[in-house]
Amino acid sequence: MLYSLGILVFLGSLGLGLAAFAWVTGTRFATEAARPASLRWLRHWTLRGLLLPAGIWAIMNFGFSVAWQPFMPRLQIVQGTANWLPLYAAYIATGFCIISSYWTAVTLGWIAWRAGHGLEAEMRTHFRGLCLTSLGVLILPAIGMVAMGGWLALGLAVTLMLAPVAGYGPTILRPKKMTQLYDKGIERMKFGK
């Protein structure tokens, strides 16, 4: 029972953290003018791509009757006992974490593709270099994750490869304008100091 609750807390938090990472990335990549439309798209995409599949997973494993048994065999065995609810919660958290990892990977890929679409020459070169470097450096750890975790870890592996693009992409797309060091001196000279 304690094991199931630990799985619920850990994987539920991981799934929520991945979804929050995608939301923060979507907000950071959007310009001020496009931010309301971007957040509206992200809200709809979260409902359709994350919450709806997670809800379907929860319903599939609930086991409403003898005719409609839970999807997972272990839940079928413990149905009607005191261990059912913690185990059910652990399976729901596990499914949510897997769905969230795939959803985050698709969301980050879409955000990066939209951000790279239509960039100017120098900015496109820098952004493409960031993407290729990120994918090149993290492909081996991602392959290792998939080899250890199977297809369940694929979403997490793709999210790992796209994480540097999500982190450093906005700084390439909207570089900060550096002020000259002597601007304050010129300003003082203009005021006669």
Burial of residue 120, with CB atoms counted within 10 A of its CB: 0-12 exposed, 13-18 middle, 19 or more buried? exposed
Contact assessment for residue 15 and residue 97, using Cβ atoms and an 8 Å cutoff: yes
Joined together, the tokens standing for residue 93 give 């958290």
Domain count along the chain? 1
Distance CA 5, CA 9 (A): 6
At 80 the pLDDT is 78
Q: With bands split at pLDDT 50, 70 and 90, how would you rate the model's confidence at 171?
A: confident
The predicted model scores a pTM of 0.84
More confident residue, 180 or 32: 32
Q: With bands split at pLDDT 50, 70 and 90, how would you rate the model's confidence at 150?
A: very high
Residues 6 or more apart from 133 whose CB is under 8 A from it? 164
Distance CA 126, CA 129 (A): 5
DSSP of 54-92, one letter per residue?
Answer: HHHHHHHTT--SSSS--SSHHHHHHTTSTTHHHHHHHHH
Contact assessment for residue 70 and residue 63, using Cβ atoms and an 8 Å cutoff: yes
Instruction: Work out the percent of the chain whose per-residue pLDDT is above 90.
Output: 51
At 183 the pLDDT is 67
Amino acid symbol at 125: T
* Residue 11 dihedral angles phi and psi, to the nearest 5°: -70, -35
pLDDT per residue as tens digits for the range 2-15: 787 888 899 999 99
Instruction: For Cα atoms 26, 159, 101, give the angle at the middle one, nearest 5 degrees.
Output: 90
Would the pLDDT of 177 be above 80?
no
User: Mean pLDDT in the chain?
Assistant: 88
Q: Reduce the DSSP state of residue 156 to 3 states and report it.
A: helix
Domain span at residue 107 reads: 2-190
